[in-house]
């Protein structure tokens, strides 16, 4: 079945507006609520987490401010999607997705398959990844790797305002359930965002944020900023780093990553989720399978140790990859950059 997003020809970028990451989220939702009367929004504390403008501009038939019962209102959203609406479910803090896991995994992800394609579930689940704010173990998880193991879900992790707006709009127009994870540290970040309401970022396409020849750095969500800062530091010592942002984690654009690593011969992965069974693990395994014997250095992964996130600011801040640790790891993989000719 053709997705609603596929029926719209992606407009050229054209004119842009400078928006914060949070403003890009709000603008994407405002535009889609205005464009399509089937789009509704429901969730808890909508006005608290940046959606006050939406609450003010749409009535109670389109915007449902729900009780704090994630399992219940997520299930309502799945049912609404099956009847022809296109819900946006705002789950606020990403750790709350555990409570909504049953309707997401057992219903939204499986119903198209279990009905032989007779039912579609065009629904978007939004959540914010909070960390580095001393909000302790029950509010600091980045659970997107867990959901990658579920067939039937599409998973997005945009790192810029433009990518957030374009991918969120594509998600709302998609006929499958989509999980979109926002890094709350990116909310104030500003960037140029295309103004055309039909401008979309395609789901399943990675973006090369910086080109380079000596090493490929793949960074996820909030780690992209640190990777780009690290690339600047590496350039100062003669190392040319290519930085790739997958943007979509499922489906994952492995072709773009493999092509880059085939050329550079080195791969460093950085993300802010726990290191055990994360996105980096999947990418590393695929690259090792496809490029066995062609690598110039071992694949290196940087992530969070397999511990619960502590309340202590000093202890928590030491857990995450930084520009300095990414640059140091890349430098270790490129010990003699002047002697390494690019692979073709």
What residues act catalytically?
139
CA 35 to the chain's CA centroid: 24
The residue whose two tokens read 């009905």 is 115
Within the chain, residue ranges assigned H as helices are 21-35, 52-57, 70-82, 101, 111-114, 144-148, 161-173, 223-236, 254-264, 279-290, 313-317, 323-333
Residue 134 sits at φ, ψ, to 5 deg, of: 55, 50
Q: What are phi and psi of 20, to 5 degrees?
A: -80, 165
Mutual orientation of helices 21-35 and 161-173 as an angle, nearest 10°?
A: 30
**Going by C-beta distance under 8 Å and a sequence separation of 6 or more, which residues neighbour residue 69?**
none
**CA–CA dist 79, 314 (Å, integer):** 44
């Amino acid at each position: 079945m053709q997705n609603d997003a596929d029926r719209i020809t992606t407009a050229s970028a054209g004119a842009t507006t400078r928006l914060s990451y949070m403003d890009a989220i709000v603008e994407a939702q405002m535009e889609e609520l205005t464009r399509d009367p089937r789009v509704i929004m429901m969730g808890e504390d909508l006005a608290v987490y940046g959606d006050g403008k939406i609450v003010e501009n749409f009535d109670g038939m389109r915007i449902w401010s729900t009780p704090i019962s994630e399992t219940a209102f997520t299930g309502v959203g799945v049912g609404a999607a099956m009847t022809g609406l296109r819900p946006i479910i705002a789950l606020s803090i990403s750790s709350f997705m555990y409570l909504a896991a049953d309707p997401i995994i057992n219903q939204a992800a499986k119903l198209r398959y279990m009905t032989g394609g007779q039912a579609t579930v065009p629904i978007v689940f939004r959540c914010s990844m909070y960390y580095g704010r001393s909000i302790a173990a029950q509010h600091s998880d980045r659970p997107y790797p867990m959901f990658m193991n579920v067939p039937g879900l599409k998973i997005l992790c945009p790192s810029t305002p433009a990518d957030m707006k374009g991918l969120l709009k594509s998600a709302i127009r998609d006929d499958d359930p989509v999980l979109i994870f926002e890094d709350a540290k990116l909310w104030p970040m500003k960037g140029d965002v295309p103004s055309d309401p039909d401008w979309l970022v395609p789901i399943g396409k990675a973006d090369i944020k910086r080109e380079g020849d000596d090493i490929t750095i793949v960074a996820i969500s909030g780690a992209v900023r640190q990777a780009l800062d690290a690339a600047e530091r590496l350039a100062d010592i003669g190392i040319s780093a290519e930085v790739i942002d997958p943007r979509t984690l499922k489906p994952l654009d492995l072709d773009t990553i493999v092509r880059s690593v085939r050329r550079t011969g080195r791969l460093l992965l950085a993300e802010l989720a726990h290191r055990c069974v994360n996105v980096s693990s999947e990418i590393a395994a695929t690259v090792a399978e496809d490029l066995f014997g062609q690598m110039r250095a071992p694949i290196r992964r940087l992530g969070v140790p397999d511990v619960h996130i502590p309340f202590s600011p000093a202890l928590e801040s030491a857990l995450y990859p930084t520009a300095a640790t990414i640059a140091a790891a890349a430098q270790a993989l490129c010990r003699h950059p002047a002697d390494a000719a690019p692979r073709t």
